[in-house]
Amino acid sequence: MSQNTTTVLHDQVEFDYEELPATTTLSMHLIAGAAAGIMEHSVMYPFDIVKTRMQVVGSPSSVMYSGVGQALKVISTTEGMRSLWRGVMSVVLGAGPAHAVYFATYEQTKSILSGNQANSLAAGAAGGVATIISDALMNPFDVIKQRMQLACTTHKNIFECARTVFKTEGFRAFYISYPTTLLMNMPFQTIQFGCYDFFRRSLNPSGIYSPTTHIIAGGMAGAVAGLLTTPIDCCKTLLQTRGASTDPDVRAASSMIDSAKVIYNKQGLNGFIRGAKPRVIANFPATAISWTTYEYFKWVITRRESNKNA
């Protein structure tokens, strides 16, 4: 193969990697998505614990912190550094398969809706469809994670936590927040995917592989989506931690409307923005990491497929 031909192929790979080759198998989508999901949730886990502690209602874990930094310091000094990662295995076990299905569904749906053409609306819609499926897998793991994050938790590990929740509250406890989770994540992911696609194309019109672009676009998209959906996240947290509450009103909540009423009655409108700062702080790097990891795998896969066909 001549040098000119090699250069042309290389340039084509750099430009076309945005859309995975038609020959890419489902397993490749799954691997890329799983890697992105585990990286996203694990790295920023301590900030997620702070968010949960700030949002929880009617529990011994309901502690008012003056800021994110102060919260991290208090938790690490009073409970130990390991407490900042308590429950992270639930995320690792759940995020892998959930994000694998998430990104695979996203790619397939976007391709169907847009016909492989640049379309931010199609990307946003595809993100919404992917959320419905992936959240069904992730919701039980998220419930276990938040129970482990509470300061009052007595669970030794995620498996013991799962058994206790199932025994005392039944299987319904793992999915009582699912409708609320969807009401949060549908707009979150639609906003995130749409914003990411828009920012990525605005920052990098040529479409060449650019980690810097993916970091900035992913971070901005995650921060915007995280901020706008914080009120619903507060309702979700209440539902997922209600079993650990000593407040009868919290324990009786069984829907997003119920949780919203409890939050408003006990904390006012400010209750719906609690945890917004750590949520944004966590989402910016988390989504940046997720998209950068995913785009890297897409790039590697595309190069490998192109080299096979060369």
Q: Which of 20-24, 164-168, 182-186, 292-296 has the lowest mean pLDDT?
A: 20-24
Q: How many domains does the chain have?
A: 1
- CATH number of the domain to which 224 belongs: 1.50.40.10
Domain residue limits at 261: 24-304
Question: Rounded distance, CA 58 to CA 245, Å?
Answer: 5
Residue 229 lies in a domain: yes
Residue 5 lies in a domain: no
Condensed to tens digits (0 to 9), the pLDDT of residues 138-153 reads 999 999 999 999 988 8
Does the structure show a pLDDT above 80 at 308?
no
Residue 261 lies in a domain: yes
Condensed to tens digits (0 to 9), the pLDDT of residues 248-307 reads 999 999 999 999 999 999 999 999 999 999 999 988 988 888 888 878 877 887 777 777
The pLDDT confidence band at residue 22, using thresholds 50, 70 and 90, is low
For range 78-82, the mean pLDDT? 90
Question: Measured at the alpha carbon of residue 249, what is the angle toward residues 247 and 251, in degrees to the nearest 5?
Answer: 70
Residue 19 lies in a domain: no
- Residue 181's contacts (CB-CB under 8 Å, 6 or more residues apart) are 135, 139, 142, 236
Tokens at 48, concatenated = 């997620």
Residue 309 lies in a domain: no
C-alpha distance from residue 206 to each of 18, 20, 103, 119, 210 (Å)? 11, 17, 23, 15, 10
Residue 16 lies in a domain: no
Q: pTM to 2 decimals?
A: 0.74
Q: How many helices (H) and strands (E) does the chain have?
A: 13, 0
Question: Rounded distance, CA 65 to CA 83, Å?
Answer: 16
Q: Which amino acid is at 294?
A: Y
Residue 220 lies in a domain: yes
Residue 182 lies in a domain: yes
Tokens at 231, concatenated = 């009120």
Tokens at 265, concatenated = 């009655």
Question: Rounded distance, CA 16 to CA 19, Å?
Answer: 6
